[in-house]
Amino acid sequence: MHAGYNAAGTVLGEFAHIAAIGWTQQDGTVEWLCGGSLIADSFILTAAHCAADWKLTAPDVARMGDINIYSDQDDEYAQQLTIVQVIRHPKHRFGVRYYDIALMKLETNVWRTSYVAPICLWLQDEIPSTRLLAAGWGQTDTYGETSQNLLQVELSLVNNSECAKHHPAGGIALRSGIEDHQICAVDPVMDLCPGDSGGPLLVKLNSFFGVYAPFLVGVTSFGKACGLAIPGVFVKVSKFRKWIFQQLELNGERISPQLSDPVVCASHYAERSGKKSYGNTQPLFIISVEFNDAYTVSLEWSGTAAPIRCSGTLIEPNVVLTLAQCTSHQGAQPSRVVFADSTAMKIRDVIVHPNFTEHAPYHNNIAVLRLESYASAVPACGWYEDSFPVNNIKIQGYNYNSQSILVSSTITPQTDCNAVRKYSSPFPQGIQDEHICFKNPHFLIPHVCDLKLGASIQPKPTSNFVWGLNMLGRDCGYGVPAVGVRLSAHKAWLESVLLPRSSPRNEGLVYIDSDLDVQDECKYADGTKGTCTPQQNCPAIHARLQSKEQLLFCGNTAVVCCPERATNLETKVIEDEFNECEARYRHLRTERQTNTSHMAEIGWQEAESVTYDCYGYLISTRGIVSSASCLLGKAKLPNIVRLGGLGTRGSSEIFRVEEFIFHPKYNRTTQQHNIAIVKLESAVEPSEHVFPGCLWQNVTHSPVLQQVYDYGMCTQNEYKTNFEIYGRWS
């Protein structure tokens, strides 16, 4: 190991798993040329190229529990055993860099102590940290002597594409470049050198057992001349799980939970080490085990086990807040809540946020549970301010024994959550203001802490205020940020549910604000925002008329406060297209048309086939309306749209689908609100063959004459009426 200023010595017991692998010489001395890691009582994991020295002689001895392998001053706990078998990976070839992994069997089991014991294996492909440790007795520079003392260095992970710039494909040794069973790590000063081969690349993870447990991530394989700060290459242990376990079993080693279960292994490590953490470790951040507060409840279902383990927070004597995702499973709703003292209370009503939908379950993911009676527990208080006075918070979770635990965390910018690749799918538009992003920077052993879904997010150290609800994230937000629901984002909805007014629609039905004019921003008493717009340009005003809601006029009755008027340029363009549709496309309408210029075929394009099983109606240059049930009728969503007239194939065009927007209240069972928008990747160029149809925007009156087209039954361009094709009324 190149001895730059980042090099660090080690203490006895810090690397209890590490083994020096040696070759006994004719004069009885041992030449220590490789390292390895004890992974079972009689097996060492090392590099396959360590199976022979330059004379093609196999190693015969392994030494553990020692720091200075050339001195007898620290030999009190050392154990030196004969290597009786070397098992190289069957795909390894000397002189080639791939599959550089091997097992070495010892003559007998080691005697487990605080200074000699197996390391835990990290068997997941995703490495739980970007900062790792390597150790060895290798040379201190390219032409130097091997180190007498065990040295360690902290390395940073490097992605394989970046690593390939330093280790390009070519030659016999690395014909295919860096492959997926290899990983790379680097330090600006330190390098791995000859003699470090086979040694460990490990990560120390918070275990909540009182120590940070080491997990073997990689095996040192190769690098370039040491001292150049070029990434070293390691064999990724997780890629060889099956082979390692298979070889251990073939050679008499039982695959115990300590080998395969990270929690069990970490607990054994804690017992063996005497709960001693080595190196620059941080506090474990656990606040309380078997934690329960009076206002946290668990949700239960009648006659069946809960589909998911969900909790809620009492915010009124008879009101519990929880996640909307926790309120339904296969059509059933939770029937009661259970408090920490085992008191159970029946749920009277379940009120889910009206904009929550199963198609976007992490938006508007909040619900109110009204209880049949009043709880004796003191409720928590909701925090409805937009900002938080502190960043330190308390998070509730379950530990490996399903005990409730309380851990500390920190609110972090939304960009931290948006940077998490796995959140790109559940949050296609990114983390929003309705979310709380929180994390603890230290990685945790899997399942040592799982989020208690629906439980409260509270400030630390002590407060009765609830800022949000746990929603999504692994390991309670350790290492990778977790996401919660922010209560303040849903203040208006919660007020409408919890603080209903006696007769809001009869108060000030019409109001004229003489200070407002066209294009001014305006706001209704119920909180609805808008823009002052001439009445003829505001079809949305009809909805307020129909529902007998307050009308706000700006200066005079010709200008109205138009609800939800577009404030960004993209949305304004769409609104203008809807409002100006008849005039904008009048020149494209001819007597020869059969109304197919607006119709769309929606299809599934696979590798070798295309099927069009859904239909829709072009309502803008990038938008198509269709039925949600048809679009969701297959395992995958459709990916293409064909436009241009069903009867004129020669002029049709194919467009790729960018996004689907399903009605938030769509119900698969009842087929209510069975409607969806298909957004195209590129805009349609309006022509006689393809141009948008206009939307009827008057919500109080319907056209006298209406037609429904059955796209599937076409004879000589005449379409028969079949209402079921387009879905039921929403």
Structure-model confidence comparison of residues 285 and 479, the more confident one: 479
Q: Does the pLDDT value for residue 503 go beyond 70?
A: no
Higher pLDDT, 298 or 543: 298
* Upper half-sphere CA count for residue 551 (Cβ side, 13 Å): 20
> 510 or 600: which carries more pLDDT confidence?
600
| Residue 594 per-residue DSSP state | -
Tell me the residue length of the chain. 730
To the nearest 10°, report the CA torsion of 676, 678, 679, 680.
-170
Strand partners, 189: none
The H-or-E segment that residue 465 falls in is strand 465-466
Instruction: Identify the weakest region by mean pLDDT among 89-103, 167-181, 388-402, 716-730.
Output: 716-730
427-458 tens-digit pLDDT = 877 888 999 999 988 888 888 888 999 999 99
Rounded to whole angstroms, the maximal C-alpha distance in the chain is 108
**What are 174's strand-pairing partners?**
170
What's the rounded Cα separation, in Å, for the pair 199 and 237?
12
Distance CA 102, CA 89 (A): 6
What is the pLDDT confidence band of residue 591, given thresholds at 50, 70 and 90? low
* 135-164 per-position pLDDT tens digit: 998 876 655 566 778 988 899 999 999 999
d(CA 599, CA 690): 8
Residue type, 369: L
Per-residue pLDDT at 504: 42
Q: Looking at 411-425, 609-623, 655-669, which range is the least confident one?
A: 411-425
Q: List pLDDT tens digits, range 626-637.
A: 999 999 999 899
Segment 601-610 shows an average pLDDT of 89
Confidence class of residue 552 from pLDDT cuts 50, 70 and 90? Answer: confident
User: What are the DSSP calls for 205-242, one per residue?
Assistant: EE-SSSSEEEEEEEEEEE-SSTTS-PPEEEEEGGGGHH
**pTM exceeds 0.75, yes or no:** no
- Count of other CB atoms within 10 angstroms of residue 40: 24
* Cα gap 245→242, rounded to integer Å: 5
Average pLDDT for residues 180-206, to the nearest whole number?
A: 86
pLDDT tens string 326-363: 998 777 899 999 998 889 999 999 999 999 988 888 99
pLDDT at residue 282, rounded to an integer? 45
- DSSP bridge partners of 552: 511
pLDDT above 70 (res 565): no
pLDDT value, residue 560? 87
Q: Is the pLDDT of residue 502 over 70?
A: no
Give pLDDT, residue 287: 58
Across the range 533-560, mean pLDDT stands at 78
Q: Is the pLDDT of residue 83 over 90?
A: yes
49 is catalytic: yes
pLDDT, residue 278, reads: 52
Q: Say what the pLDDT of residue 140 is.
A: 67
Residue 100 annotated among the catalytic residues of the structure: yes
Tens of pLDDT, residue by residue over 639-658, are 999 988 665 555 788 999 99
Tokens of 540: 């949305």
Helix, strand, or coil here: 726?
helix
Amino acid of residue 476? C
Please name each of the domains of the chain with its CATH number. 8-259 (2.40.10.10), 285-418+430-499 (2.40.10.10), 507-563 (no CATH), 593-729 (2.40.10.10)
Least trusted range by pLDDT, from 219-223, 615-619, 713-717: 713-717
**Annotated catalytic residue within 49, 166, 490, 673:** 49
Residue with tokens 């008493």: 525
Is the pLDDT at 50 greater than 90? The verdict is yes
pLDDT tier at 74 (50, 70, 90 boundaries)?
A: confident
Q: Regarding predicted confidence, which is higher, 372 or 287?
A: 372
Selected residue with higher pLDDT from 678 and 703: 678
At 110, the amino acid letter reads V
Sign of the torsion angle spanned by Cα atoms 615, 618, 622, 624: negative
Q: How confident is the model at residue 306 (pLDDT cuts 50, 70, 90)?
A: low
- For the chain, what percent of residues have pLDDT higher than 90? 42
In the numeric block, which tokens belong to residue 199? 């040694």
pLDDT of residue 3 exceeding 50: no
More confident residue, 23 or 501: 23
* Mean pLDDT value across residues 610-619: 91
Q: What integer is the mean pLDDT of 61-69?
A: 93
- Judge whether 81 and 65 are in contact, CB under 8 Å: no
Summary mean pLDDT of the chain? 83
Set 2, 42, 66, 100: catalytic member: 100
Average pLDDT estimate for 553-571: 73
533 pLDDT band, cuts 50/70/90, is confident
Write down the pLDDT at residue 721: 28
CB atoms within 10 A of CB 596: 20
For residues 634 and 714, which has the higher predicted lDDT (pLDDT)? 634
Helices (H), strands (E): how many in the chain? 11, 43
Are the beta carbons of 425 and 440 closer than 8 angstroms?
no
- State the catalytic residue, choosing from 37, 197, 273, 277: 197
Q: What is the pLDDT of residues 99-124, one digit of tens each?
A: 999 999 999 999 999 899 999 999 98
Whether 660 shows a pLDDT value over 90: the answer reads yes
Cβ-based neighbour number of residue 356 at 10 Å: 21
Of these ranges, 288-292, 586-590, 632-636, the one predicted with the greatest mean pLDDT is: 632-636
State mean pLDDT over 23-47.
95
In contact, 379 and 334? CB cutoff 8 Å: no
Note the pLDDT of residue 229.
80
Task: For residue 117, give Cα distances in angstroms to 82, 114, 220, 269, 487.
Answer: 17, 7, 20, 8, 49
Res. 43: pLDDT tops 90: yes
Per the annotation, the verdict on 92 as an active-site residue is no
- Confidence at residue 158, expressed as pLDDT on a 0 to 100 scale: 93
